[in-house]
Structure 1
Amino acid sequence: MRVIIVGGGLAGLTLASALEKATIDFVLLEARGRFDPQVGASIGLNAAAMRILDQLGAAEEIVRNTAPVELSKVHRSDGTLVMPPAFTFQILKARFGYGVSFLDRQRALKALMDSIAQKDKMLPNKTVLRIDQTDSGVSVKCEDGSSYNGDMVVGCDGVNSKASTRSEMCRLAREKDPDHFRVMNETRMSAEFNCLFGISDPVDGLIEGTVDTLFDKGRSMLVITGKHGRVFWFYHEKLDKVYYTDAKDFPRYSQADAEKLALKNAWRPVTETVTLGDLWEKRVSYTLVPLEEALFNIWSWGRIATVGDNAHKMTPNHGQAGNSAIESAAALANQLQRVHDEGPITSQTIRSALRKWQEKRQARVNATVKEAAAVCRLQALDSRMAPFVMNYVVPNATESLLRLVTDALIGAEIIEYLPVPARSFEGSCPFNQSQGIGKHESVLKRMAIASPLLVLSCWVATMTPMDSVNDSMHQFLQLTKLGERAQFLQNLHVFAGESVIYAIWLIESNRRANVMTFAQFPTIFWLLGLRFGPGVISPCYYALHFALSGVERFAAADARLTNVAYTRLILPLIVLFMGVQLFLSLNGYSIRVDMAWWHWRWMLQPQSLIAITQLIVVKTRMSKVSMHEDTMDNQIRDLPYIRWCLCALSAVSAASWIATRQSVLLDAFSPPLFPDGDLLGLNQQVTLLASLFWVGLLIHDIKSAGMVKESWAKILAIGFVSGALAGPVVSVALGKVDP
């Protein structure tokens, strides 16, 4: 098999190196005079791309030429910070084993060139003039009169070359199958923004290893300070309209245009102390280009394939264009290696391989292109909601942004026939191609799975008149119907069960994976439960938790981490506040005032006080926050506190359950703890049932993801035995004691 690669950029060199290592013959044609020109461009290589480059032997050279990116800063248009610096990049390195490497594109190309042994197959000054294909192969003709024959052509030459592989593919399709050509042109490449990008020598005020992003109306900036202070910068500006590449008025920029734009905007802040003019004064190289965008429906035709910008052109704000091209090249190499090894090499086998390649990459690429477009427009505040998002959502969504980047990396491609680098196993988040961007489980599907909880909630609501909940609570506190022993045991058992459930809710509220979900606000649900009945509200809480906290959120080991500063306060605060409430109840405390006062008394329940006390203690630094340190150094630091909390509360619940059953058996004349028609008892029983169902759903999730190896028979047996001996609350706690 022989593959003709057109274009010696990142994708072309990656594919050439991968094919060489699969012992597939190739020739690489590059229009420029050299494969590593200095054109003022830079590249940020993420963990997904670095793992592939590590397989090819190019990663070490790239790492030597970069400083680790550690801090991320987001600025307003005046340069002030939107939020404190974030350690996103450090966490990503801890998760995947590779940091983000930002360097001159020239150096990255040189590292890839060095990974290819057969330099005689890398041909510069080869501008493609025409491509032809037959049932037996392809032919590529160049401007210098040379021609090359092979089994297929792979275009890695971008979309702006004189006779791009994509344009030749469209020409051949039009000649052979006009309808196919019409479908291919459903997407028109367009540009709504331009970008002035460049490289500068060190600038005072910029810190090595820092990424500065500036949001502004109609424009944005991205500045990365690399090794030895070398600065890589991008200034994006919205155009006056959307331009299409096939139109006569599509913008083409000269060096003079770039200088004019830079000088006009030199005053604009980048940070509190640095302006665009400061970068411009120290410039080493620069280029102004329109930012084309397109996601083509078809990436191949016959024996011709297009990779990278030829198939999915996106804005650079997201930093995924080059990385996606490297992944696509690796995925294509996998398919070609199978064709080469399995044979025979025919038009049909090549078309089948190219179809499988696109099908495998399609969902991931589609989601990446859309995400890049959204990020570009958000940073340019290109909507009415964008300023609100920048000022109020972004500062509180660090974890959500971290999750987005993790989603973009976890499902990354790998060269399947080469050894997996040892470094990729060092992180806390295993790469998994069944997860990540474009492969999320539908929220609607998860809500449908959790629908029995909503049905249960509706049923209890029909059984619980609005005023009956307060009446039940009132009767519960006065407890005049039972004897003294049964009264004590009922109080203890109910309060202990409440404490276990609420402790679990509090633990979930500060878990990293549950950021920006309803699980962050357990006290709201608890107070609603006090007003409408826990049997009505708790199933709704569980349904929302399950729907919005898919298992992919827990792919990274640190995603299940809770903030120890909060978690270690849960047990003492619950013991204090619940204990006071129980003590008052056992000493004959009763309410003999109007229902308005009664309602507010419940609004000031210990659950609210627990949450408020936690917040005060943490905010005043009496209990230090250590989430970042734990993420980097000790991702299981919170487990002892979680176990102590749930085990201690469960022990009290189990003891009261056993004692209550013995009391009922010994006193044949004692009435049942929850007689027929007792709404309080109904609500408590439904809450326990909903809790058990929820735990079962979560166990199913982690078993499906391969995080738990125990069989269902063992899990159900443990749950049944513990529930029968110590009460259902203990079964719920066992399901959450080792998350």
Structure 2
Amino acid sequence: MAEKTGFQVIIAGGGVAGLLLANALERGGIDYVLLERRSEVAPHAGASICMIPNGCRILDQLGLYEPFLETTVPVKWMYDRDNKGYPLAPRSDFTRLGFARTGYELSFGDRQALLQVMLDGIRDKSKILMNKRLVGVTHSADGVTVKCEDGTAYNGDILVGADGVHSKTREALWDLAAKEYPDKVQKDRKAMTAEYQCLFGICSKVDGMEIGDGEYGYDHDRSSLVVVSKGGRTYYFIFQKMSQIYHGADIPHYSREEVEEFARVHFDMKIRPNVTFEAIWNNTLASNLVVLEEATFEVWNHGRIACVGDSIHKMTPHVGYGGNTAIESAAALASAIKKMADEAHGGIHPTESRIQECFASYQNKRKERTDNLVKISADVARLQSLQQYSHRIFVRYAIPHLGDYLANLQADMVVGAAGISFLPIPRRSVTVTMPLNPTQGDGLKESKLKRAALALPFLLLFWLAKNLMDPAPLIPWATSVLKTRTLHWSDTPLPITFYHLRWLDDLLGPLVVFFSPALYGIDSVSQQAFLFLVDYGVILAIWLIESTRRANTFTPSQLPLIFTLASQFLGVGVISPLYYLLHYAFIPIENFKASDMRLTRIAYTKSVLPAVILAYYIPVYASFLWPSFAGRVSWNFLWQLFPLWVSLLASKICFRLFPDTTEADRVSNVYRDLPVIRTTVGILAAHSAAAWLYTSSKVGFSVGAIWDLMLPPTHSPQGAKDLITFAGEFLRFDSAFLFGNTFLWLGYLFWDIKHAGMLEMGWGRILGYAAAAVVVLGPGAAVGMGFLWREELLATRRHWAAITEERAREWNRKLGFEWEEKKVN
């Protein structure tokens, strides 16, 4: 039996996770031995591997990224295709976006090539032992002993199982843990299932396929992934749902004859319209047919034994997470082991309790994240094989509009990825638009339900506004006016038609009657209405800008038309708290982890100012300034549907006058829209301030009169005895609720920013500035200024936990490494 000298790690398995751990431990000066059951570490089995940024960064820390990159080329374009090979959506360059965000590109290569690069990275090859099939594990309070099939035995302080999906180490771990956690172990023993099988392989260049292209194929009960890499070398996966779900030991294995038969069955599969799988198969260099096990386990470690990689979290390969997740877990475990080993001085070995603490910290850091990745992979597998009717609907109608959904999915995985804590942070990983952040990403996302609960005050404001601003009293007055076409304060007939569509004129008529006192020029209502509508235009522009922000994709904020139309009939003071509640609940600060997520669609953003001026402000001014009362009423009829006109006009201007450069901006110019937003909101805020000062001057800058413009009366407008009183009081409530809601919303957004460490200013100063802006420049201008301030903070500040270049530089120097001054391309 071998003698144990110093702290030693035994690694069972020489696959991706095992070799990564070996490289990391060697760099950390930790003794280890790696036992591999096969006769060679890097056999040619036809397997490929997809490398994405989280795995690439760890390879980069070890100096292995560049050697692997030489064996492959990045994926340039990804396609989603139907069962006839036709695109379901425009091709995606999400890998280019991923490179801008992370400094690393997605690439496919031979798994053998990666294993060889990892093996070459090991300086002391004597630590890598072949033909060492594990047959037994003895665990004691002093250490662990591994017995191999060839009769040899190895002693160590800890055993790490990196021996794959059929892990012997995991079996030993379960046997050991069953005494303490029988229920968990029993559950784990039944956890592994297999519902899909996969023919994977490598072939030479196929006519009709381009280097750098990746193809996802969708079909009923089957799907495909084909990627063309360096020199036309092509990696393919043909997935098939099996007739039953297999469990544990029942999972089948396949003969070569079954491989051939499986391939022939799928010869008709269309990879592209002019390329079938048969053409790929005819060029095949190596292939294999396997079942795709899926599992998440509860018990990752016990005593002196822990597992890593596929032995403890197994996922389907549909999104390429498996190998990278194994790399990440190995890096996290290496970091935990290094920390523990550094605490032991003078040859003192860590106690078993300290080892358990080490393993627990590793599992706690990784489990929730890996469980989520297993689920994502499973969901994609079932989506691509169209297992449910909802999948077919999604593929047909949603995929064409997903945009950067896949890139954002990858961003969630990458941003919070583990690294090797005792090795320097590569410069290329921080001179990017999405710095790493250990507090964000998969498994760490802020709960939308929690955010909705925090935003419940908006629901209270909605209820309060709805009850105080009941428009019911307007109905009898409006009915009488529309029937007689007369107002008791004017002899001029009230026009009751404008669109010459009876249902539409009848629908809008009561709204026009409501505004008739203001249109007639009755000061008590006219001043209030004019100032309110001028200020409202600032908020309208903000809602339109928010609707096109990349961080707000697939959220209710993309639908300002619905909120503004509803506001015309119920009052914007009633509807706005619903908009703000949904905005806050669905859009946490983590949505802005990448700088391009703050970006808005530049063509649309440029169209906001002219659309709001033409379709909102011109009708507003004409409604108050047109020479004749009948003309003012007609303009108000036009204004009532401003949500439609602004929306249509913005779209027309957007598509006709301004080029859409979003595709390029999100990669190379993430601040391109900032001058446009500043100009748009700045001009409208200045206009609002001018209206405030003008109106204030008309009331002699009287504090009481100004307060009357800002604050609602002490009683509900429902008690008003005439239309003039009702309109004036309703508008004051509408204005107060709108701006109260909006300032509260901005408060929530600034709370997010402060919590993220992006603003250090105290609440006293923030609220003081806001109050001063409201009093001096009016609420509309104050809202615009607050929104622009937030925009600048989102564009120029980073989350407190983001690993920026400055923080990485300091971290590396603490570790004793010189900073790499030149950015690596």
TM-score by length of 1: 0.94
Task: Give the aligned partner of residue 722 of structure 2.
Answer: none
- 1:646 aligns to what? 681
> Secondary structure, in 3 states, of the residue corresponding to 1:215?
strand
Residue 71 of structure 1 contacts residue 85 of structure 1 at CA under 8 Å; is this kept in 2?
yes
Structure 1 Cα separation of the partners of residues 34 and 676 of structure 2 = 59
Letter in 1 for 2:686: A
**Equivalent in 576, 584, 587 of residue 626 of structure 2:** 587
Alignment of 1:514-529 (within 5 A): 514-529=552-567
TM-superposed CA distance for 1:565, in Å, is 0.4
Decide which moves more: 711-720 or 386-395. 711-720
1:169 correspondence with 2:207: no
Residues 76 and 669 from structure 1, CA distance in 2 versus in 1: closer, same or farther, beyond 3 angstroms? closer
Structure 1 residue 564 displacement after superposition: 0.8
Deviations 1:301-325 (A, max 9, x none): 2111111111111111121011111
CA distance in 2, matches of 1:245, 1:69: 35
Give matches, 1:511-550, under 5 Å: 511-550=549-588
CA contact (8 A) 1:534 1:683 kept: yes
Report the Cα offset of residue 186 of structure 1: 5.8
Contact 1:443 1:548 in 2 (8 A): yes
1:360 to 1:480, Cα distance in 2 relative to 1, 3 A: closer
1:341 Cα deviation after fit: 0.8
| Aligned-pair CA distance for 1:473 | 5.5
Partner of 1:287: 288
Q: Which amino acid aligns with 1:479?
A: A
**Aligned residue in 2 for 1:76:** 82
Report if aligned partners of 1:31, 1:124 keep a CA contact under 8 Å in 2: yes
Conserved? CA contact 1:5–1:156, under 8 Å: yes
Question: In the alignment, what sits opposite 2:103?
Answer: 97
Task: Check conservation: 2:296, 2:313, Cα contact below 8 A.
Answer: yes
Of residues 631-640 and 60-69 in structure 1, the stretch that sits farther from structure 2 once superposed is 60-69
Aligned twin of 1:609: 645
Is 2:368 the counterpart of 1:368? no
- Secondary structure at the counterpart of residue 786 of structure 2: helix
1:233 corresponding residue in structure 2: 236
Aligned match of 1:499 in 514, 537, 558?
Answer: 537
Shift of 1:181: 6.7
1:600 is displaced (CA, Å) by 7.8
- Partner of residue 732, structure 1: 783
The residue type paired with residue 350 of structure 1 is I
Distance 1:685 1:691 in 2: 10
SS at match of 2:142: coil
Q: Does 1:631 align with 2:632?
A: no
C-alpha displacement at 1:326, in angstroms?
0.6
Are residues 599 and 396 of structure 1, via their aligned partners in 2, closer, same or farther at CA, if it must alter by over 3 Å? farther
- 3-state DSSP class of the match of 1:185? helix
Q: Which moved more, 1:146-155 or 1:721-730?
A: 721-730
- Indicate if the aligned counterparts of 2:531 and 2:692 stay in contact, CA closer than 8 A: yes
Matches of 2:132 and 2:665, distance apart in 1:
54
Match of 1:127 in 2: 133
Give the structure 2 partner of residue 458 of structure 1. 463
Q: Which runs of 5+ in 2 are unaligned?
A: 1-6, 475-507, 718-728, 792-825
Secondary structure of the 1:412 match is coil
Equivalent position amino acid for 2:421 in 1 = E
Task: Tell me whether 1:557 sits opposite 2:595 in the alignment.
Answer: yes
Residue 86 of structure 1: how far off its partner (Å): 1.2
From 730, 749, 760, the equivalent of 1:698 is 749
1:177 Cα offset (Å): 4.7
- Distance (Å, rounded) in 1 between the aligned partners of 2:416 and 2:473: 51
SS of corresponding position for 2:270? coil
Aligned residue identity for 1:440: K
Indicate how the Cα distance of structure 1 residues 28 and 667 shifts in structure 2: closer, same or farther if over 3 A, else same: closer
User: How far off its partner does 1:715 sit?
Assistant: 2.4
AA of the residue aligned to 2:689? A
Deviation string, structure 1 residues 167-209 (Cα, Å, up to 9, x no partner): 22223344x5573674453642110000000011111111111
Contact 2:206/2:279 (8 A) holds in 1: yes
AA at the equivalent of 1:639: L
* CA displacement 1:201-242 (0-9 Å, x = unmatched): 111111111111011100010111111211111000000010
* TM-score normalized with structure 2 length: 0.85
Take 1:494 and 1:721, find their aligned partners in 2: how far apart are those partners? 19
**Matching residue's letter, 1:530:** Q
1:275 maps to 2:281: no
Determine if the alignment matches structure 1 residue 660 to structure 2 residue 695. yes
Helix, strand or coil: the match of 2:287? strand
**Structure 1 stretch displaced more, 656-665 or 444-453:** 656-665
How far has the Cα of 1:488 moved from its partner?
7.0
The 3 A distance-change label for structure 1 pair 695 and 27 is same
- Identity in percent: 37
Residues 355-504 of structure 1: matches in 2 within 5 Å?
A: 355-467=360-472, 474-479=513-518, 490=528, 492-504=530-542
Which structure is larger by alpha-carbon Rg, 1 or 2? 2
In 1, Cα distance between equivalents of 2:170 and 2:702 = 86
| Distance (whole Å) between structure 2 residues aligned to residue 422 and residue 70 of structure 1 | 23
Q: State the distance in 1 between where 2:533 and 2:114 align.
A: 63
Unpaired runs of 5+ residues, structure 1, are: none
Deviates more, 1:302-311 or 1:338-347: 338-347
Residues 136/610 of structure 1: CA separation in 2 closer, same or farther (3 Å cut): same
Q: What are the superposed Cα offsets for residues 493-529 of structure 1, whole Å, 9 maximum, x if unpaired?
A: 2232111000000000000011111111101100000
Distance between the aligned counterparts of 1:116 and 1:512, measured in 2? 43
Are 2:236 and 1:185 aligned?
A: no
CA RMSD of aligned residues (A): 2.3
Deviation at 1:584, TM superposition (A): 2.1
Supply the distance in 2 between the matched residues of 1:590 and 1:276 (Cα, whole angstroms): 74
Q: Is the 8 A contact 1:468 1:679 kept in 2?
A: no
Paired with 2:181 and 2:700, the residues of 1 have a C-alpha distance of 85
Corresponding position of 1:210 = 213
Contact 2:519 2:632 in 1 (8 A): no
